[in-house]
Structure 1
Amino acid sequence: MKKLLYAIAVSATIFTGCSKDDDDDTQPTKVPVEGEITGDITSNRTLAYGNYTLKGMVKIQSGVTLTIEAGSTFTADKSNGEDGLVVLNGGKLIANGTADNPIVLTEKSKIAGSWAGIIMYGDAPIVNSSTAVGTQVAISEDGLNLSYGGTNAAHNGGSLKYVRVEYAGQVITTNNKEHNGFSFYSVGNGTVLENLVSYKGNDDGFEFYGGTVSGKNLVSYGNSDDSFDWQDGWRGQDNTNWFAYQTGIGNYGMEVETKGINNNFWPKVTNITLKRATGTQTEAQSEIQLDAIQFKSNGNGDFSNIVIDGYTSQTTPTAFAGGAIQIRDKATYDNQVVGGKIKLTNVKLNNTPLLFISGAAAADFTLNAASFGANWAVTTTATGASLAKGKWATVDGVDLLANL
């Protein structure tokens, strides 16, 4: 296999400050370096605070750590081909920004779907067949055709804090070569995901393909498919403060599935706000994709302190019913709803007149509050996500949390 070139060309870090005659204690201003990152990363590297060009599918190899200093910006250019930042299983990405100095990965044209975003692989458990949980593997749908899955629930892919991905979600072939803002393939709970923003991508904001990792303070803004999506038996247990704002084009606030496997584990998420702006339309006009939360293929979960706002039916260009909760198929209804494995408690509903959608092709079940029993509880006191404003959630002067 032809060896890929890894190159980083940077100028020297420059400091400017006051003269010796100044008697104040003003700190010198650190000037960002300029550079390019491309090819495979085969040895530990630290990228100083700077502005970098991201070229090609940059892959952090197993056993290698890439560290990025706070405030750095990476810019892809779709005219040069497919770009993305990939953390292979065994590799680590340490990208710890701050609220005022986030790490930003963007694209030159500022057009949704222009690059692949951040992709991370691990070997935490997935379910992808009827065999024993923890033994399965699957092949990625990002075109890299990499295997994911395993038994290492504590897999550690690094730490991402105050990181924003913009204009990603490149879709080349649907369900075969497509990307999200953030894609986590069987990532384990040793990985830290905090204060992340997926902004105006062409697919999902965040997608979890199995694994045990959890995400705190996640913002999905203006992504044209689902804001949050998972499959393969993702089971993160420490998720909190999720905010989805859908505007223009958008499908589900959360799409939940488990590849048809009726399992006895599920993720837990607290403090959720799912908001859909007036006039937002579903991406495809061939199926119902308007609901705040959709469950299918035995998807389940424990969700609490939820605010659902603005999920109404669509009249044009195609009339679709939209509401708070959709159950797509009878197996999910029987095994997960009636079986008590979907819990939706402390739910506040605004501008969402239709609560339940029975999405089965045949009318073989009717979803209502009684279907959930004690696992459905509506309130007027739910607060949803709680997030602190700052540069990490501001794009071109627009406060992404203004509608929270």
Structure 2
Amino acid sequence: MKKLFYAIAIVATIFTGCSDDDDDVVPTKQPVVGEITGDITASRTLAYGNYTLKGMVKIQPGVTLTIEKGSTFTADKSNGENGLVVLKGGILIANGTADEPIVFTAKDKAPGQWAGIIMYGEAPIVASGGVASATSEDGLNLPYGGTNASHSSGSLKYVRVEYAGLVYNSNTKEHNGFSFYAVGSGTTLENLVSYKGNDDGFEFYGGTASGKNLISYGNADDSFDWQDGWRGQDNTNWFAYQTGTANYGMEIEAKSVNNTFWPKATNITLKRAAGTGTESASEKQYDAIQFKAQGNGDFSNIVIDGYASIEAGFGSAVQIRDLSTYNDQVVAGKIKLNNVKITNTPVLFLSQNSGGAFTVNAASFGVNWSVSTTATGASLTKGKWANIDGLDLLANL
């Protein structure tokens, strides 16, 4: 009996006791192993673990899915279409940390393996023709657009999406790293990474949500893209590093609806590595910032580097695509680009003359354009959240 009590005491000491020199033995928390699939119909918490993401997993309205920090989710394209969808009225709480991010990746480390994270909210949109609703282009064919600007779809902090951007049919079934449909300003989007996807890194389809500390690295289409009257007001610290294949650093449009509101973002760095090609040989889209279809915005403290023309008529710091956008947004003072530092980008402005001839230059913007040699761009803190297989995503910031 004494030996039994002694054994119990020794075990208790290993797990809870303290030695005289305070050299505690703390057991390492082991990840659980599991699979997440089907509809999430009841609120639940996924413990720290390594999970297989199988199928289009949908968080249903009224349901909250919480994911513990450090968890990893892996999709396998051979299983079909995989993704994580937050339906309108559902909530996703995925709060990692700088050293314990939540990672969504793919079995095969190549662009276009899965559908990424898709989130629906209840905030307003302005779609084609000025209507307040539209149908999603993610193949789910869901209506989006609401009336609650401050709505929350949850919280994403220190979340990394890798190898997403699965595309079936352009504009009718395509996926980004992160897709935000009518997401409201009550949603937290902070310290997010979209890495080597086959489409856009981040795309906002209307709504009022804002993103802070965003990294779009090596995505094959646009680094940051939005439409449907997106109007996030508190965006800061965006870093795009385009390498391999890429189109625009920022593609900005508003479905041809001339509007009196616009998004605001500060501390932006857009860099394009030498030798980076375009997604299509026939449509050479590689400007740092492109405005079209009445797109606008207020942007400041911007660093642009590496958007050199490799063919006449393509490649610039700022492109204005069409005459209506030039007249209604540039000349009308609804596009603001201030404190801009530009290097390795010989052509500042480019006009594609869609809808009629025009020439865009610094004078077109008036006081809404200013260059600087001291702009700093994005400011981001290194950590495991921004490091993939030994690659420091912030090395070129």
Q: TM-score range by the shorter chain?
A: over 0.9
Give the AA of the match of 1:209: Y
Q: How many residues align?
A: 383
Q: Is the 8 A contact 1:143 1:178 kept in 2?
A: yes
Q: Distance in 2 between matches of 1:166 and 1:217?
A: 17
Give the whole-Å Cα distance in 2 for the aligned partners of 1:17 and 1:229: 56
Please give the alpha-carbon distance, in whole angstroms, between the structure 1 residues aligned to 2:16 and 2:356. 81
- RMSD, matched Cα: 1.4
Aligned twin of 2:118: 119
Q: How does 1:59-74 map to 2 (within 5 A)?
A: 59-74=58-73
* Residue pair 2:313, 2:350 contacting (<8 A) in 1 also: no
Deviation at 1:93, TM superposition (A): 0.2
Gaps of 5+ in 1: 1-15
Partners of 1:248 and 1:280 within 8 A in 2: yes
Alpha-carbon distance between aligned partners in 1 of 2:59 and 2:88, rounded to the nearest angstrom: 9
Matched, 1:400 2:393: yes
Residue 382 of structure 2 is aligned to residue 386 of structure 1? no
CA shift at 1:22, angstroms?
Answer: 6.6
Q: Does 1:198 align with 2:194?
A: yes
Q: 1:328 aligns with which of 321, 325, 332?
A: 321
Look up the match of 1:7.
Answer: none
1:227 equivalenced with 2:220 (yes/no): no
1:347 is the counterpart of 2:340 = yes
SS in 2 for 1:360: strand
| Distance apart, 1:252 and its partner CA | 0.1
Q: Which residue of 2 aligns with 1:8?
A: none
1-structure distance, mates of 2:197, 2:217: 8
State the shift of 1:155 in Å: 1.3
Question: Residue 331 of structure 1 aligns to a residue in which SS?
Answer: helix
**1:3 corresponding residue in structure 2:** none
| Letter of the 1:275 counterpart | K
Aligned to 1:46: 45
**Aligned equivalent of 1:245:** 241
Q: What is the Cα deviation at residue 163 of structure 1?
A: 0.0
Q: What's the CA shift for 1:363?
A: 5.9
Name the SS of the counterpart of 2:78 in structure 1: helix
List gaps (5 residues or longer) in structure 2: 1-11
The match for 1:308 is 304
- Residue 136 of structure 1 and its aligned partner are, at CA, apart by 1.0
Aligned to 1:30: 29
Aligned partners of 1:291 and 1:168: how far apart in 2?
A: 23
Secondary structure class of the residue paired with 1:30: coil
Separation of aligned partners in 1, 2:13 and 2:260: 60
Give how far 1:314 is off.
Answer: 1.9
Separation (CA, whole Å) in 2 of partners of 1:129 and 1:78: 33
Q: Is the 8 A contact 2:263 2:298 kept in 1?
A: yes
Q: Is the Cα–Cα contact under 8 Å of residues 32 and 51 in structure 1 kept in the other structure?
A: yes
CA deviations 1:244-288 (Å, max 9, x no partner) are 000010000000000000000000000000000000011111123
Q: Which amino acid aligns with 2:81?
A: E
Q: Which residue of 2 aligns with 1:159?
A: 155
For the residue of structure 2 that corresponds to 1:241, the secondary structure is strand
Q: Which amino acid aligns with 2:32?
A: V
Distance 2:368 2:15 in 1: 66
Equivalent pair of 1:274/1:309 in contact (CA under 8 Å): yes
Cα distance in 2 between the residues matched to 1:328 and 1:364: 11
Write out aligned runs for 1:355-394 (5 A): 355-361=348-354, 364-394=357-387
TM-score (structure 2 length as normaliser): 0.94
CA contact (8 A) 2:178 2:194 kept: yes
**Which has the larger displacement, 320-329 or 189-198?**
320-329
SS state at 2:29 partner: strand
Give the Cα–Cα distance (whole angstroms) in 2 for the partners of residues 223 and 284 of structure 1: 14
Residues 173-198 of structure 1: CA deviation (Å, up to 9, x unaligned): 01100000000000000100000000
**Cα distance change on mapping 1:18 and 1:396 into 2, 3 Å:** farther
Q: 2:204 aligns with which of 188, 204, 208?
A: 208
Task: Please name the residue that 2:254 is paired with.
Answer: 258
Partner Cα separation in structure 2 for residue 330 and residue 19 of structure 1: 71
1:169 aligned to 165, 168, 176, which one?
165
Mapped partners of 1:125, 1:363: distance in 2: 32
Q: Which amino acid aligns with 1:332?
A: T
2:293 to 293, 297, 306: 297
Match of 2:283 among 287, 299, 315: 287
Partner deviation per Cα, 1:89-108 (whole Å, 9 max, x = no partner)? 00000000000000000000
Task: Specify the code of the residue in structure 2 equivalent to 1:265.
Answer: F
Query: Within 1, Cα distance between the matches of 2:55 and 2:96?
Result: 23
Equivalence for 2:106:
107
Is the contact made by 2:386 and 2:392 (CA closer than 8 Å) also made in structure 1? yes
Shift of 1:130: 3.5
Match of 1:75 in 2: 74
